[in-house]
């Protein structure tokens, strides 16, 4: 097994996430090279990846399954990267015929040198990657594929709440979503401690924020909740131990833990969570963090326990 430990670290040993090269945008009005169309685009995801998980949830909540097809990669990578092959919870690619996700990247740019990341979207018409820039993908699903959304689809990015959603997303990304990676992949003590300190300061603030409201923004489910959920659902299973984010567990936060269960138990969330993929990916592909490749059995967490969040405004 070849390590997939990210190489992006600064001179001080701090983890620095790579920039995402493919940043095409979709358009409802055809003003970009990639107009919103049904049946044209294919979403590639890993059920282990929190960034890809966002796209899976939003695609389902908006009823875009028949508009944008989806392929799930094998959660365990080797030196060739993400593979598309048959297995529990994943399968070979019957649409584009890729055996490895790298093929999509290299067909788009034969000189591409970065990592082959999920989520990404392939255009079956122009035969190229549109985007691997995960923050844009869900926003475009929400705002540019409106004509293809199912009946009763929620407005996850309401225009009146966008400034508040964007501001909250920015700090949650820096301190929580990417914060766990900054801690886990830090190559020296100081950046690790800085990342963990900021992570738990932000979780403490979110615990207080959620003490008197059911959702993060505007009293309704939004993009902000989905972005936080995909980190929270992995927290105790992976980040506490594997990434050394162990000052506290999610279950130690009454409001955050109840909030996470509230979302998990909603239609459109539970069925997207695959703890087998999550644990096998993290524990079996980061040799420097877990040289043995042994996958832990725990933790035992009751995600179906009553959450009592419906009482909140």
- Structural domain includes residue 23: no
- Structural domain includes residue 39: no
User: Which helix (DSSP H) or strand (DSSP E) does residue 211 occupy?
Assistant: none
Q: Which residues contact 298 (CB under 8 A, 6 or more apart)?
A: none
Q: What is the pLDDT of residue 9?
A: 75
- Structural domain includes residue 86: no
State how many domains the chain has: 1
DSSP reduced 3-state for 83 = strand
Distance CA 67, CA 268 (A): 17
**Which tens digit of pLDDT belongs to each residue from 150-192?**
999 999 999 999 999 999 999 999 999 999 999 999 999 999 9
Mean pLDDT of 258-275: 98
Strand partners, 121: 43, 131
pLDDT above 70 (res 81): yes
Q: Tell me how crowded residue 273 is: count the other CB atoms within 10 A of its CB.
A: 19
- Structural domain includes residue 233: yes
- Structural domain includes residue 148: no
| Residue owning tokens 């269960």 | 261
Distance CA 25, CA 33 (A): 8
Q: In whole numbers, what is the pLDDT of the chain averaged over residues?
A: 95
- Structural domain includes residue 107: no
Q: Please identify which of the residues 41, 44, 49, 239 carries the catalytic annotation.
A: 49
Cis peptide bond N-terminal to 29, omega within 30: no
To the query of whether residue 239 is one of the catalytic residues in this protein, the response is no
User: Which is more confidently placed, 11 or 125?
Assistant: 125
Strand 34-35 to 26-27 pairing: parallel
Of the candidates 195, 299, 238, 251, the one whose C-alpha atom is nearest the C-alpha of residue 49 is 238
Distance CA 280, CA 74 (A): 10
pTM, whole model, 2 decimals?
A: 0.96
Domain enclosing residue 209, as ranges: 159-266
To the query of whether residue 181 is one of the catalytic residues in this protein, the response is yes
Q: What is the pLDDT of residue 3?
A: 37
Cis peptide bond N-terminal to 180, omega within 30: no
Confidence label for 2 from pLDDT (cuts 50, 70 and 90): very low
CATH number of the structural domain spanning residue 258 = 1.20.1050.10
- Structural domain includes residue 133: no
Strand partners, 26: 34
Q: What is the pLDDT of residue 1?
A: 32
Q: Please identify which of the residues 181, 215, 259, 283 carries the catalytic annotation.
A: 181
Mean pLDDT of 227-234: 98
Confidence label for 5 from pLDDT (cuts 50, 70 and 90): very low
- Structural domain includes residue 302: no
pLDDT above 70 (res 262): yes
Distance CA 258, CA 264 (A): 10
């Amino acid at each position: 097994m070849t390590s997939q430990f990210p190489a992006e670290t600064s001179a001080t040993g701090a983890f620095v996430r790579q920039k995402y090269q493919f940043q095409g945008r979709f358009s409802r009005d055809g003003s970009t090279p990639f107009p919103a169309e049904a049946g044209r685009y294919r979403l590639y995801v890993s059920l282990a990846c929190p960034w890809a998980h966002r796209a899976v949830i939003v695609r389902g909540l908006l009823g875009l399954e028949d508009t944008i097809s989806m392929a799930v990669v094998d959660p365990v990578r080797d030196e060739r990267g993400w593979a598309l092959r048959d297995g529990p919870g994943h399968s070979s690619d019957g649409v584009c015929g890729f055996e490895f996700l790298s093929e999509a990247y290299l067909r788009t740019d034969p000189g591409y040198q970065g990592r082959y990341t999920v989520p990404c979207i392939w255009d079956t018409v122009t035969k190229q990657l549109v985007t691997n820039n995960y923050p844009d993908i869900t926003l475009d699903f929400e705002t540019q594929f409106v004509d293809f959304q199912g009946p009763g689809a929620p407005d996850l990015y309401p225009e009146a709440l966008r400034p508040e959603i964007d501001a909250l997303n920015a700090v949650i990304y820096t301190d929580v979503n990417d914060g766990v990676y900054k801690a886990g992949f830090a190559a020296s003590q100081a950046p690790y401690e800085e990342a963990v300190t900021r992570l738990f300061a932000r979780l403490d603030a979110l615990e207080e924020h959620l003490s008197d409201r059911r959702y993060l923004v505007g009293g309704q489910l939004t993009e902000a909740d989905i972005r936080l959920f995909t980190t929270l659902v992995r927290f105790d299973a992976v980040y506490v131990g594997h990434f050394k984010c162990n000052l506290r567990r999610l279950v130690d936060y009454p409001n955050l833990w109840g909030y996470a269960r509230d979302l998990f138990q909603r239609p459109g969330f539970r069925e997207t969570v695959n703890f087998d993929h999550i644990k096998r990916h993290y524990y079996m592909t980061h040799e420097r963090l877990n040289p043995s490749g042994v996958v832990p059995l725990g933790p035992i967490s009751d995600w179906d326990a009553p959450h009592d969040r419906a009482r909140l405004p």
